[in-house]
Amino acid sequence: MSLRELVAAEARLARAAVPHLNDVAVSHALREAATAVAERGDAILAANELDLSEEEGVLDPGTIDRLRLDGPRLNALAEQLTAMADLEPLPREGAAWTLPNGLAVSELRIPIGVVGANFEARPNVALDIAAQLLKSLNAGVMRTGGAALRTVTVLVDDVLRPSLEATGLPPGAVGLVRSPDREGARVLVSLPHEIPLVILRGSGETTAALAKRAAEHGVRALAHAEGGGVLYLHGSAAEEKVQHIVEQSLDRLGVCNRLNLLLIDHEARHLLPCVLGVTARLGIEARATERARTLDRSRLAALDERLGHEWANDAERVATMTVDLVDDLGEAAAIANHETSGLAAGIVAEDEAAAEAFLNAYRGTAAFWHATTRFTDGFALTGAPETGINVDWSPGPRGPVTYRDLWLRQYRIIGDATQTR
Amino acid sequence: MSLRELVAAEARLARAAVPHLNDVAVSHALREAATAVAERGDAILAANELDLSEEEGVLDPGTIDRLRLDGPRLNALAEQLTAMADLEPLPREGAAWTLPNGLAVSELRIPIGVVGANFEARPNVALDIAAQLLKSLNAGVMRTGGAALRTVTVLVDDVLRPSLEATGLPPGAVGLVRSPDREGARVLVSLPHEIPLVILRGSGETTAALAKRAAEHGVRALAHAEGGGVLYLHGSAAEEKVQHIVEQSLDRLGVCNRLNLLLIDHEARHLLPCVLGVTARLGIEARATERARTLDRSRLAALDERLGHEWANDAERVATMTVDLVDDLGEAAAIANHETSGLAAGIVAEDEAAAEAFLNAYRGTAAFWHATTRFTDGFALTGAPETGINVDWSPGPRGPVTYRDLWLRQYRIIGDATQTR
């Protein structure tokens, strides 16, 4: 069988499962799966050992670490499944009204059907995504980064599928692209009839290329590809809060929602030393536009990238951020809107009217006042893990996407034919 | 200037207008526009006369009729603008909650920005779409079928823009592709930064090709392209209701939501004469699958198209419908789901459990019990005219799309930095 036929076969199994999914059974199945993680721990760890043995020295240490499972991490997987089982089901009924002609109209949220998901080589993400798809009563076909394929195969075949079956649900509800080849991701986004929607986790050019391919094939993608947090320091900003939020915004590197572009208002230039104190302590290099460099040429390196460049995604200089100097709030919002991907931006300002104006002017997926853009995360904001982040400029799930977003609108109309002229 | 530069220039004007739009001013502007339609009636009719004089004998009579304006139709245009002004503004605040760490989170509905709209050569649609875009606080760039360009240009330049200006809003909020060339539509869907979302009205291959081009350029389209209503007659259907609903479903041809595919249950085959009585009276030719033809070979012509073919869109045989015979409700739902575009389907059944089962099994944009699929229309269902219909299988506006759907989700997070660890 070709890879395409293999993926289509998993999608067919998944599609056949969709009508059988229901909230009660899915919660049961996720609890079963939590138990199965413990029971099948040896098999999971053995597969993970094999995955790791092939990648040691090939992948970077961070990636290896995210791929690795051990006893405590197995426990965390089980807890994560139980937490998903405990979450409220997605409400299925939206607004309802009766028309003057007597027709009863309601807006329902029906399952999408088969949803694809492409993600990095992390076993915990596989369970996370599978749980979210099931929780929204969708079936799925997953594709993991090749390095985790053995581990994820055991998680699908020995944990998820038996748990579905034990609960009376069709095991094929969770499908897998059973090939480590990157071509698997390309196939996953090119089957519009079998898999009309694909969640693309991850950032950078690979994701952008997959999103483009999906579009060309008539497949909708919820994708991120680019991101980065913006922080604007208003003239009324309190130094203590600036220090705190900059620090919170750089507590972790390599993540899209960390501080990427700092915009200092002309009136707030006295706060630059405070910012540079934090970045120096954290080992972050500050690169600045020419106009910002006039503030402190010795501590601000020249920017050799466009303003909205996402450093988190730049393997060579992940510990870097950009600084720019702006004339006013309007310019800050314009830069955040037009020079960045529109993931998230925040303002530090004691002046409430200024904060309000910035929040109203910013058009990205999440706007913050006196809080770090690091909170741009489905779990942090909504209590449900996110399947990914979507940054496009169209109606539908935008920003962190959770299981609560994975539905289709359907109007349902009930009438009595003899009365509805 | 190239056509591309022209469209981009209109989009830039529109973009600059977006921050200035607000509900109160937009309502005022729409009322102003209603007055302006009357005041500028002569100029509108003169332009329309010119448009018509070029198309008489070129376009078919139906298209000519839809292009034509006269006194009463001008009045209708004004009323339509007033009705839009009277509609409730789009609610901007969604759910709101406070996190355990003290952050206040809310889901806002912010404007999309500049929305493109491509539609047929009908002057009333131009005002309709412009009003809906403004009502949702979006700016827009419209492209009309070339035959109506003179009329629509007067509606934009002498009605809409002066009314916006008189209300203190930037006139450029409503832009126009000022070329009758079809290339204008192709340009409109290929500017992802200027116009990230385009509404494509209309059906058929041209629309499908535009939707594909949009996707290739990273532009989101809300489009229809194919449709058609399905009606399933269950064994428990009452003859009186069958007759009534079939008749209601064929009250107009050439529209996507009219009855296109009739699925007769094996147990309901006694109802075929009733159906064929209605179609004969209305001059609709019934074409049937081989298995359905066994019921009445003399009155059912052989089907020479695939089952889900949309006759409404087939200029040569617009007065035709398809009949198929199915074994049971499951097969009917499967055909409606997999062999048609998923626009709308209905069931006639006295058996409530059967109706419920069919409604739950059908996955299209609108599901009907004892009501005709002709109600698949934004105005009929929601009281707001629709910008168009969207039939894709992804989260977001699906089915009839109205101004209430034209927004972006934004999370807004407000905290106190000293308290939010």
Angle between the B23-39 and B123-135 helix axes, to the nearest 10 degrees?
A: 160
The dihedrals phi and psi of A74, each to the nearest 5 degrees, come to -60, -40
* pLDDT the model gives residue A314: 81
**CA pair distance B186, B174, nearest whole angstrom:** 19
Contact A396 B397 (CB under 8 A): yes
CA distance B36 to chain A (A): 32
CA distance A198 to chain B (A): 10
Average pLDDT over residues B55-75: 90
pLDDT at B394 over 80: yes
Q: How confident is the model at residue B57 (pLDDT cuts 50, 70, 90)?
A: confident
Give B404: exposed, middle or buried? Use CB within 10 Å, 0-12, 13-18, 19+. Answer: buried
Q: Looking at this protein, which amino acid is placed at residue B240? A: E
pLDDT at B421 over 50: no
Contact A410 B241 (CB under 8 A): no
Is A400's Cβ below 8 Å from some Cβ in B? yes
* pLDDT the model gives residue B347: 98
* pLDDT the model gives residue B413: 96
User: Quick one: closest CA in B to A373, which residue?
Assistant: B413
Give the C-alpha distances (Å, rounded to integers) separating A233 from A171, A269, A342, B378: 52, 9, 18, 45
pLDDT at A254 over 90: no
**CA pair distance A190, A203, nearest whole angstrom:** 19
Q: How confident is the model at residue A75 (pLDDT cuts 50, 70, 90)?
A: very high
* pLDDT the model gives residue A421: 43
Is B244's Cβ below 8 Å from some Cβ in A? yes
Q: Indicate the average pLDDT of chain B.
A: 94
Q: How confident is the model at residue A149 (pLDDT cuts 50, 70, 90)?
A: very high
In order, the DSSP letters of B95-147 are: EEEE-TTS-EEEEEEEE-SEEEEEE-S-HHHHHHHHHHHHHTT-EEEEEE-GG
* pLDDT the model gives residue A63: 85
Average pLDDT over residues A352-370: 97
**CA pair distance A179, B245, nearest whole angstrom:** 51
pLDDT at A123 over 50: yes
Average pLDDT over residues B204-209: 86
User: Quick one: closest CA in B to A407, which residue?
Assistant: B395
- Kindly provide the ipTM of the predicted complex, given to two decimals: 0.93
Give the C-alpha distances (Å, rounded to integers) separating A243 from A246, A254, B10, B31: 5, 21, 43, 51
B346 strand-pairing partners: B231, B368
Q: What is the DSSP letter of A159?
A: I
**CA pair distance A401, A112, nearest whole angstrom:** 14
Is A96's Cβ below 8 Å from some Cβ in B? no
pLDDT at B253 over 70: yes
Average pLDDT over residues B15-34: 97
Strands B344-348 and B366-369: parallel
Q: What percent of chain A has pLDDT over 70?
A: 99
Of A112, A398, A416, Cβ closest to residue B394? A112
pLDDT at A290 over 70: yes
Of A220, A370, A415, Cβ closest to residue B392? A220
Interface test with A, best of B88, B370, B373 (most A CBs within 10 A): B370
Is A196's Cβ below 8 Å from some Cβ in B? yes
**CA pair distance B328, B294, nearest whole angstrom:** 17
Identify whether the C-beta of residue A52 lies closer than 8 Å to the C-beta of residue A68. yes
Is A215's Cβ below 8 Å from some Cβ in B? yes
* pLDDT the model gives residue B311: 87
Put residue A66 in one of left, alpha, beta given phi > 0 → left and psi -120 to 50 → alpha: alpha
Q: What is the pLDDT of residues A211-227, one digit of tens each?
A: 999 988 989 999 886 77
Among the residue ranges A38-52, A54-68, A90-104, B371-385, the one predicted with the least confidence is A54-68
Q: Which residues of chain B does A410 touch, with a Cβ-Cβ cutoff of 8 Å?
A: 363-367, 398-399
Q: Which residues of chain A does B382 touch, with a Cβ-Cβ cutoff of 8 Å?
A: 105
Contact A368 B415 (CB under 8 A): yes
Among the residue ranges A35-39, A57-61, B344-348, B382-386, the one predicted with the least confidence is A57-61
Is A241's Cβ below 8 Å from some Cβ in B? yes
> Given the structure tokens 């919002």, which residue do they identify?
A333
pLDDT at A420 over 70: no
Residue B160: other Cβ atoms inside 10 A: 29
Strands B386-390 and B399-402: antiparallel
Average pLDDT over residues A296-325: 91
Greater pLDDT, B5 or A318: B5
Q: What percent of chain B has pLDDT over 70?
A: 99
Q: How confident is the model at residue B419 (pLDDT cuts 50, 70, 90)?
A: low
Q: How confident is the model at residue B59 (pLDDT cuts 50, 70, 90)?
A: confident
Q: Which residues of chain A does B95 touch, with a Cβ-Cβ cutoff of 8 Å?
A: none
Q: Which residues of chain B does A382 touch, with a Cβ-Cβ cutoff of 8 Å?
A: 105
Greater pLDDT, B215 or A167: A167
Length of chain B: 421
Q: How confident is the model at residue A98 (pLDDT cuts 50, 70, 90)?
A: very high
* pLDDT the model gives residue B227: 78
Q: Looking at this protein, which amino acid is placed at residue B45? A: L
Is A392's Cβ below 8 Å from some Cβ in B? yes
Q: Looking at this protein, which amino acid is placed at residue B267? A: E
Is B175's Cβ below 8 Å from some Cβ in A? no
Q: Which residues of chain B does A244 touch, with a Cβ-Cβ cutoff of 8 Å?
A: 417-418
User: Quick one: closest CA in A to B338, which residue?
Assistant: A193
Is B106's Cβ below 8 Å from some Cβ in A? no
Which strands form A197-203's sheet, in the order they lie side by side?
A: A174-176, A139-144, A114-119, A197-203, A220-225
3-state secondary structure of A297: coil
Residues 129-168 of A with CB under 8 A from B: none
Alpha-carbon radius of gyration of chain A: 24
User: Quick one: closest CA in B to A379, which residue?
Assistant: B99
Among the residue ranges A100-104, A302-306, B172-176, B384-388, the one predicted with the least confidence is B384-388
Average pLDDT over residues B57-83: 92
pLDDT at A391 over 70: yes
Could you tell me which residues come within 8 angstroms of residue B404 by beta carbon, excluding any fewer than 6 positions away?
B90, B136, B382, B384
Q: How confident is the model at residue A419 (pLDDT cuts 50, 70, 90)?
A: low
Q: How confident is the model at residue B420 (pLDDT cuts 50, 70, 90)?
A: very low
Is B92's Cβ below 8 Å from some Cβ in A? no
Average pLDDT over residues B378-393: 90
Q: Count Cβ–Cβ pairs < 8 Å, chain A vs chain B.
A: 190
